Amino acid sequence: MSKRDYYEVLGISKDANEAAIKKAFKRLAMKHHPDRNTDSPEASEIKFKEGKEAYDILSDAQKRAAYDQYGHAGVDASAGGQGYGAGAGNFSDIFGDVFGDIFGGGGGGGRSRSYRGSDLRYNMELNLEDAVSGTTIKIKIPTLVGCKTCDGSGAKKGSSPTTCTTCGGTGQVRIQQGFFSVQQTCPHCHGQGKTISDPCNDCHGQGRIEERKTLSVKVPPGVDNGDRIRLSGEGEAGENGGPPGDLYVQVHVKPHAIFERDGANLLCQVPISVATAALGGDLEVPTLNGRVKLKIPAETQTGRMFRLKGKGVKPVRGGMVGDLMCKVVIETPVKLTTKQKNLLREFEDSIHGDNKNHNPQGSSWMDGVKKFFDDMKL
């Protein structure tokens, strides 16, 4: 009997990768589950074995290359000269092996499995100065550590865990349904392969206890909101001697009273008086490294931006130091005395007849308003 094309059997294209091949065979295997094909279990078994043969060839890079070049003739020898109907073994054994490969588990190998500990996260708040310059901060975190009383075994001192009698120490049990069998986690030992009849009094058989530990976290210069600092091996202790997880410190920079950060640059608003804006002058402005002088030219308008080179932040991942951007905001005087008000009115009267020279923006805006209303009358 001529064999069907292996790619056709699995329903995949010839450029399918290994993951697609496994997924296709998993789908085929589930389709021909005997519980879903009680009317014709023999036909279901034949189709499964046909799919198993296709999977064996296409999941092996060398056999697949030979099949792609020569077809079935190129893999008969490598497959031992056997088709899917001969020498394929017991159906339940094949099914169990396949699902062990695809879903994890499998015969053996589950004995006293160890598990890596969970990773932990700690939210750290920093002020802007520490984030920019770097610092070292001590933190306290609750975590699970290996129990020192029982050395992490979970059993009381002087005793030890025993092999699970249900799974024989494999951590897996096989359920048989006719000619079909599936492996699953042992319900008695929960996949550990061992049971504890006399648990440790301190950890109650868990092998781990909760503890608060103090760590020193070195914060590198230039960190920003959202950056993470990884402390390898400072997470929860692993189970059954497994390696510990990691601790991830999440950085949150608190709002600053003067500065706002924008990448490598710092932003700040500098209020100036009307007189300084009109006549010019020198101002002292703060930076994270001290005070510097900022020269305000005459006739400065509100919103003008001044750049102080190199007074920003050096990014944690490298690059040029940013700048300090100072935005000028002209402050209107408040709580004026009668004399001060009269002086301002006198000053206003003195320039009132020459707005285009003294108030060019206001004059231009008024011209625009006049044109707007004139157009509305048309």
Facing residues of 144 across strands? 210
* pLDDT value, residue 32: 72
Q: Kindly state whether residues 201 and 324 are assigned to the same domain.
A: no
Find how far residue 164's CA is from the centre of its chain. Answer: 38
| pLDDT grade for 176, boundaries at 50, 70 and 90 | low
Least confident of 117-126, 162-171, 252-261, 294-303: 162-171
pLDDT above 70 coverage of the chain, percent: 81
Q: Kindly state whether residues 14 and 89 are assigned to the same domain.
A: yes
- For the chain, what is the mean pLDDT? 81
| pLDDT grade for 356, boundaries at 50, 70 and 90 | low
Find how far residue 179's CA is from the centre of its chain. Answer: 44
Q: Domain range spanning residue 240?
A: 120-253
Give the pairing of strands 265-272 and 324-330. parallel
Return the HEC string of 324-349: EEEEEEECCCCCCCHHHHHHHHHHHH
In the chain the first and final C-alpha atoms are separated, in Å, by 93
Give mean pLDDT, residues 207-229. Answer: 90
Question: Is the Cβ–Cβ distance between 55 and 21 less than 8 Å?
Answer: yes
Looking up tokens 């994270």 gives 288
pLDDT at position 91 over 80: no
Q: Is residue 225 part of a domain?
A: yes
Give mean pLDDT, residues 158-175. Answer: 82
| pLDDT grade for 88, boundaries at 50, 70 and 90 | very low
**Under DSSP, is residue 113 helix (H, G, I), strand (E, B) or coil?**
coil
Give mean pLDDT, residues 162-182. Answer: 75
| pLDDT grade for 257, boundaries at 50, 70 and 90 | very high
Q: Kindly state whether residues 144 and 85 are assigned to the same domain.
A: no
Facing residues of 118 across strands? none
Q: Kindly state whether residues 140 and 183 are assigned to the same domain.
A: yes
Give mean pLDDT, residues 55-78. Answer: 80
Q: Kindly state whether residues 278 and 244 are assigned to the same domain.
A: no
Separation CA 83–CA 348 (nearest Å) = 104
Give mean pLDDT, residues 115-119. Answer: 84
* pLDDT value, residue 109: 42
Separation CA 359–CA 301 (nearest Å) = 11
Q: Pick the residue with more confidence: 155 or 138?
A: 138
| pLDDT grade for 247, boundaries at 50, 70 and 90 | very high
Most confident of 2-6, 176-180, 185-189, 278-282: 278-282
Q: Kindly state whether residues 204 and 235 are assigned to the same domain.
A: yes
Separation CA 323–CA 331 (nearest Å) = 25
* pLDDT value, residue 80: 43
Question: Is the Cβ–Cβ distance between 162 and 188 less than 8 Å?
Answer: no
The domain that holds 154 is classified in CATH as: 2.10.230.10
Q: Kindly state whether residues 249 and 265 are assigned to the same domain.
A: no
pLDDT at position 353 over 80: no
**Under DSSP, is residue 7 helix (H, G, I), strand (E, B) or coil?**
helix
Least confident of 53-57, 208-212, 355-359: 355-359
Give the CA angle between residues 64, 68, 72 to the nearest 5°.
Answer: 85
What are the residues whose beta carbons fall under 8 Å from the beta carbon of 282, sequence distance 6 or more? Answer: 293, 294, 295, 296
* pLDDT value, residue 106: 42
Q: Is residue 110 part of a domain?
A: no
What string of DSSP letters covers 237-271?
A: PPBTTPPP--EEEEEEEPP-SS-EEETTEEEEEEE
* pLDDT value, residue 62: 84
pLDDT above 90 coverage of the chain, percent: 35
Give mean pLDDT, residues 151-169. Answer: 83
pLDDT at position 39 over 70: no
What are the residues whose beta carbons fall under 8 Å from the beta carbon of 359, sequence distance 6 or more? Answer: 351
* pLDDT value, residue 113: 61
Looking at 253, 268, 286, the residue that finishes a domain is 253
Q: Kindly state whether residues 143 and 224 are assigned to the same domain.
A: yes
Separation CA 212–CA 220 (nearest Å) = 25
Q: Is residue 345 part of a domain?
A: yes
* pLDDT value, residue 87: 41
* pLDDT value, residue 374: 74
* pLDDT value, residue 35: 55
pLDDT at position 277 over 70: yes
Question: Is the Cβ–Cβ distance between 358 and 348 less than 8 Å?
Answer: no
Looking at 203, 223, 253, the residue that finishes a domain is 253
* pLDDT value, residue 307: 95
Question: How many domains is the chain partitioned into structurally?
Answer: 4
Least confident of 134-138, 180-184, 284-288: 180-184
What string of DSSP letters covers 201-227?
A: TTTTTSSEEEEEEEEEEEEPTT--TT-
| pLDDT grade for 306, boundaries at 50, 70 and 90 | very high
Q: Kindly state whether residues 133 and 235 are assigned to the same domain.
A: yes
Separation CA 154–CA 23 (nearest Å) = 39
pLDDT at position 110 over 50: no
Tokens of 244: 């510990």
Looking at 253, 288, 303, the residue that finishes a domain is 253
Distances (CA, A) of 127 to 54, 286, 358: 62, 16, 45
pLDDT at position 56 over 80: yes
* pLDDT value, residue 167: 84
Question: Is the Cβ–Cβ distance between 87 and 80 less than 8 Å?
Answer: yes
* pLDDT value, residue 61: 84
Q: Kindly state whether residues 157 and 241 are assigned to the same domain.
A: yes
pLDDT at position 133 over 80: yes
- Report pLDDT digits (tens) over 5-17: 899 888 999 888 8
Separation CA 224–CA 251 (nearest Å) = 7
Q: Kindly state whether residues 243 and 347 are assigned to the same domain.
A: no
